[in-house]
Amino acid sequence: MDWKTKRPDHIEDVLIRLRSGHWFGWSDTKNRVYENLIIRDPEAQTPENKAYHGIWSTEKPTQEFLESELQRMQEEFDGNKYKINRIEGVSGSYAASQGTGSIYPSTGEQLDMLFHELETSGSLTISGSWFNTVKAVKDANPKP
């Protein structure tokens, strides 16, 4: 996984999601490629581990399966990137002052916008500050 973006980028990300527990490893931890993937012996599990995780299979997933599942996970992540762009990172007025326009203001700031709009105009409109701020973020990060 790319630790900065949290995007799956290695077959290890697939293996971790397939099954819990320490059911796989690498014969060379500095070279984590399919050829170095090892499946641990389920008989080596402790009784507690067997009870919690169940007994895992000794069958090694195929390289094709792992690569296709990684691609599917990446496509799923990329399809949800707009949500991440709308929410994560520096929020509020700092983002606006930096000209990013891609991050929702904090909940408190949004409530303050709504309060002041209701206080001054008596109603919420599509020309109000809250609507325009949220719309700018949505426009900058459209759904795919």
Burial class (CB in 10 A: 0-12, 13-18, 19+), 74: middle
Question: 25 pairs with which residues across the strands?
Answer: 38
Residue 57 belongs to a domain? yes
For residue range 103-128, what is the model confidence (pLDDT) as tens digits? 788 888 899 999 999 999 999 999 99
Identify the domain containing residue 117 by its residue range: 88-140
H/E run at residue 30: none
Q: What's the rounded Cα separation, in Å, for the pair 56 and 107?
A: 45
Statement to judge: residues 73 and 16 lie in one domain: yes
When comparing pLDDT for 74 and 5, which is higher? 74
- Domain end (from 56, 79, 102): 79
Question: Tens digits of per-residue pLDDT, 52-92?
Answer: 656 556 678 899 999 999 999 999 988 887 777 666 644 44
How many folded domains does the chain comprise? Answer: 2
Q: Which of 79, 101, 122 is the last residue of a domain?
A: 79
The predicted pLDDT at position 90 comes to 40
Identify the pLDDT of residue 91: 46
The residue that leads in pLDDT, 12 or 19, is 12
What is the SS3 assignment for 78? helix
The pLDDT, as a whole number, for residue 93 is 43
- The band of 8, judged by pLDDT with boundaries at 50, 70 and 90, is very high
Query: What pLDDT digit, counting tens, does each position of 38-47 carry?
Result: 988 766 556 6
